Structure 1
Amino acid sequence: MKKFKIFIDNIFIYGFGSIIGKMIPFIMLPIITRMMPDSSYYGLNDLSTTLISVGQATSVFGMYDAMFRLFFDREDEKYRKQICSTALLITSITSIIVFVFIIGFNEILATVIYNNIQYRYLVYLAAFSVLIGSTNNIVAAPTKIKNESIIFILVNTISPIIAYFIAIPLLLSGFYAIALPLASLITSIMIEVFFVCRNKIWFSFCNINWNFIKPLLKIAVPLMPSFLVYWIYNSADRLIIQHLLGTQDVGLYAIASKLGQVSNLIYTAFTGGWLYFSFSTMKEERQVENNSRIFEYLGIISFSVFVLICAFSYLIYKSVFTDEYLAGYIIAPYLFLAPLLQMLFQVAGNQFIIMKKSWPNVLILSFGAVANIVLNFSLIPQIGIEGAAIGTLIGYLFADIICLIVLLKIHKIVIYKRFVIVTIGTVVYFVIWRLFLYEMIVWGIIMAFLAIGLFSSLYRNDIRKFFIMTRMMIIEEKNAKE
């Protein structure tokens, strides 16, 4: 019961606190697309996000995960402050290096990213976003550590509101290319200042311990390639689409990925509490079994919501977006499932991090990334943006399968037969939907609920147990308050 409460508390406090912030951009998406002349401007914004994401992945290079991993090695507060301060120092140095690199090669990057040197000013904005954004997670970490849930939720709610208050006047004034990137940068600066002021006792030059640099880097450096590989999964397809098809197709793909990123609400809720839970319970006797259960349950939730997205994708697009974006409905389910497969990989692959061996994650992800790129170049010229979506999905699926095979061999995960049945059922449903039902909304919905009914029947005892434990937890909380 205690472990269950820890997991649920962290999911709700930090996960759903992040979801609130993610929901606002999703709600604003139809409004923003209607304020832009065509999809190419949203494509430019998405390409800017692509550059920022690779810059931040390089700057942070796994230091956030390394900081969390070492933080829970000891209960001593001085030690924990030294870990936080040292991690911030390293991240600050790498952020400055990446910032200087982006500024120095702005013309080359503008040509490679935007296919046009006139967009150098977008490269400059991206460089500053990398410089500021890379340390945001580190300086905000003590908010999670001190369980200041109200602050965390408020910041995640207010920040996107501020960003759109800045972006909308710029869009109305005709600054379509810079409106969203500039608003995001200004908001990021405000968040950075807030958390630095609030959490300053955790970060100081006096607490920097040079002896901790090596153990932090020992965990973080092998993780850096994995974050770059994640970038290949999530962003490289935009660049390939840009060069093979054009900016407008990047915009269509970006909107489809935004709808697909409804799954990021599940993903964000999970990751918001996962690091704390996984490392704080890593010494439990039944850790492998508990981790396997979490993997299984998250997989079932992911597959169940996925079949619903397939059924409703066309209806959602038809209702929310203009006809210019309608073609993207077919790829939204692909891009919905991809982040969830990434989440499942992180759950399983976290077993390697607990063993302080991060290199298997990088190697396994690399195999999937290679498959992703090969499929992108093979399929995009043949079937357009759907080829990019297929490449992303299969890349993650390939990595998940390899990871599970390795962990099964070393007895670090358990896969149950009913999960295999659910996985096969999901694949069968998706193939039928894509070939026959993608515009037949009623039949798609009927089959989706039949599939979910099958999944639920296999897990009926677990579902019943979940509600019983939740009810007991609520009663305990109520009694404690009284």
Structure 2
Amino acid sequence: MSVAKKLAGQTAVYGISSILVRVLNYLLVPVYTGRFAAAEYGIVTGLYAYVSFLNVVFTYGMETTFFRFANRPGTDRRLLYDRVMSQLLVSTVALTALLALLARPLMQLLDVPPGRERYAIWLALILGLDTLAAIPFARLRLENQARRFATIRVANILLNVGLNLFFIVLCPDVLAGKYLHILQPLVARLYDPSIGIGYVFLSNLAASAFTLLLLGRELLDFRFRLDATPLAAMLRYAYPIMLMGLAGMVNETLDRILLPLWLPEGYYPGQSSLTAVGIYGACYKLSIFMSLVIQAFRYAAEPFFFAQSSEKNSPATFALVLKWFTLCCAVIFVFISLNIEDFAWAFLRRPEYREGVAVVPVLLLANLFLGVYWNLSVWFKLTDKTYYGTYIGAAGAVLTIALNFLLIPVLGYMGSAVATLVCYAAMAAMCWWLGERHFPVPYPVARLLLWLLLAVALVALGRWVQPGGFWLRHTWHLLLSLSFVAALVALEKPHRLIRS
């Protein structure tokens, strides 16, 4: 089996669980947008934006560090596992307690009325539990236990989705007398209407706790060993990755934090800043289809790249991987962008949310460049020059902040979307340019850029030329999508890759 096939197979295994997890979670979007006003959903969007930053702080690059040190010759993987878990356990307890104490200031940053501090406390517990599960999950990936990994991940999301549906849909409907009247006494004891959107966080907390139970085998296999000398070496490798992750979170989620701060009052008539955040956050979810591919790819690619690093033809393999990753993402970009109104109608149940769908093609393209960046970043991970990732991420973070500052007052949340696109494209360009000097790989850059330009041109054509009538419009969009796929098949000949 060729290395390309091997990576494709691993991506498929991890991808099935990853995609299923994200799809099931994505099915909650019409629930939230149908049951809660945009201002309420803005609280969820804003708090989970902070969670993205804090998750990087809680894990501080130890997952990648675990992979790197585990693949070094002579490494005792069992001892390494114990050491990494020990230091994460100590830091997680301290950080969870600190975050719980800072619950009120965090809520004030989002301009949330007093009395909802418990949301931040629940999120602190979620972060703590998820951090403790990170290295056991990494161990499963390292040991190629894909089925166990997938089973636990799917069980987590099934419980989370089930609890969301129970507390947000079933309980309110039963109490309102819509159906299942016999359950009203039981629901009245279990359900507190005053919690409202807080059940989003409680459901997540319960699912995170359940995940630790399912990882019991890996957790019981752990022995507390906190050794200062190897810890210092791991931290030297990990801290640039943490800084890079923080910079990445600036690029990925800071817009939802800055939007309510820099959006001029009255920019969207009749809407509060939290409403704008809720609309933008819900529309951002429509770019999930690109995120699914990136997440599934990363689960398989990181251990794969480390394993392939010693092979003589590894640069050619890395170039082949980037090529087909980019082309597959380009197909997704074209299809989703041309049919965005249909996706928006299906998942954004209230009309107020659908006001922001114009940002979705921009965010899809931005996430495509993010995936390209993760492909290109292999060079500084394999050469132990992770500080370059910090420099690139920091440059992207500065660009993100500057562009949001300039564009939000002028374009609203479209300004945030454009800032995200420019940032990720610039990071990918910087990573490629530096990689060419430190770890040359024969990436077909010019050819891929031409394909992306063609994809953007087809999307623009489909958006500007809109035939009248439902079926005529959909036929036109389908023809544009198929023409792009046909051109790829004719010129890139993917069947040769399959037979290789």
Is TM more than 0.5 here? yes
1:134-283 counterparts in 2 under 5 A?
134-171=131-168, 172=172, 173=191, 174=193, 175-195=195-215, 197-200=216-219, 202-205=221-224, 209-243=227-261, 244=263, 246-283=273-310
Shift of residue 400, structure 1, vs aligned partner: 0.6
2:464 paired with 1:467: no
Question: What value does the CA root-mean-square deviation take over the aligned residues?
Answer: 2.3
Q: State the distance in 2 between where 1:437 and 1:135 align.
A: 51
Q: State the distance in 1 between where 2:399 and 2:390 align.
A: 14
Shift of residue 260, structure 1, vs aligned partner: 0.8
Amino acid at match of 2:245: F
Deviations 1:419-447 (A, max 9, x none): 23213323433444555559965544433
Q: State the distance in 2 between where 1:436 and 1:391 align.
A: 26
Shift of residue 358, structure 1, vs aligned partner: 0.4
Q: Secondary structure at the match of 2:309?
A: coil
What's the counterpart of residue 354 of structure 2? Answer: 326
Q: Secondary structure at the match of 2:440?
A: coil
Deviations 1:304-345 (A, max 9, x none): 210111101012213443322212321122222333322221
Amino acid at match of 2:244: S
Q: State the distance in 2 between where 1:303 and 1:438 align.
A: 24
What's the counterpart of residue 450 of structure 2? Answer: 421
Q: Secondary structure at the match of 1:261?
A: helix
Amino acid at match of 2:294: Y
Q: State the distance in 1 between where 2:245 and 2:79 align.
A: 25
Q: State the distance in 1 between where 2:167 and 2:449 align.
A: 50
Shift of residue 75, structure 1, vs aligned partner: 6.0
1:425-444 counterparts in 2 under 5 A?
425-433=454-462, 442-444=475-477
Q: 1:281 to 1:201 in 2, by over 3 A?
A: farther
Q: Secondary structure at the match of 2:127?
A: helix
What's the counterpart of residue 184 of structure 2? Answer: none
Q: State the distance in 1 between where 2:361 and 2:92 align.
A: 35
Q: Secondary structure at the match of 1:178?
A: helix
Q: State the distance in 2 between where 1:114 and 1:177 align.
A: 16
What's the counterpart of residue 473 of structure 1? Answer: none
Deviations 1:94-126 (A, max 9, x none): 323322332232222111134444432221112
Q: Secondary structure at the match of 1:233?
A: helix
What's the counterpart of residue 356 of structure 1? Answer: 384
Shift of residue 238, structure 1, vs aligned partner: 0.7
Q: 1:189 to 1:266 in 2, by over 3 A?
A: same
What's the counterpart of residue 70 of structure 1? Answer: 69
> Given that residues 261 and 339 in structure 1 are in contact (C-alpha distance below 8 angstroms), is that contact kept between their aligned partners in structure 2?
no
What's the counterpart of residue 20 of structure 2? Answer: 20
What's the counterpart of residue 375 of structure 2? Answer: 347
Q: 1:114 to 1:84 in 2, by over 3 A?
A: farther
Amino acid at match of 1:48: L
1:405-420 counterparts in 2 under 5 A?
405-416=433-444, 417-420=446-449
Which has more helix, going by share of residues? 1
Amino acid at match of 1:124: I
> Given that residues 341 and 397 in structure 1 are in contact (C-alpha distance below 8 angstroms), is that contact kept between their aligned partners in structure 2?
yes
Q: Secondary structure at the match of 2:27?
A: helix
Amino acid at match of 1:261: I
Shift of residue 6, structure 1, vs aligned partner: 3.0
What's the counterpart of residue 8 of structure 2? Answer: 8
What's the counterpart of residue 307 of structure 1? Answer: 334
What's the counterpart of residue 478 of structure 1? Answer: none
Q: State the distance in 2 between where 1:454 and 1:228 align.
A: 39
Q: State the distance in 1 between where 2:274 and 2:240 align.
A: 34
2:99 paired with 1:102: yes
Shift of residue 351, structure 1, vs aligned partner: 0.9
2:312 paired with 1:285: yes
Shift of residue 273, structure 1, vs aligned partner: 0.7
Deviations 1:70-95 (A, max 9, x none): 1111365xx10111111112222332
> Given that residues 55 and 98 in structure 1 are in contact (C-alpha distance below 8 angstroms), is that contact kept between their aligned partners in structure 2?
no
Q: State the distance in 1 between where 2:156 and 2:27 align.
A: 15
Deviations 1:219-256 (A, max 9, x none): 11111111111111121111122232611111111111
Q: Identity over aligned residues, as a percent? A: 18
Shift of residue 69, structure 1, vs aligned partner: 0.9
> Given that residues 379 and 438 in structure 2 are in contact (C-alpha distance below 8 angstroms), is that contact kept between their aligned partners in structure 1?
no
The unaligned stretches of length 5 or more in structure 2 are 173-190, 264-271
What's the counterpart of residue 60 of structure 2? Answer: 61
Q: State the distance in 2 between where 1:441 and 1:384 align.
A: 30
The alignment covers a number of residue pairs equal to: 462
2:58 paired with 1:40: no
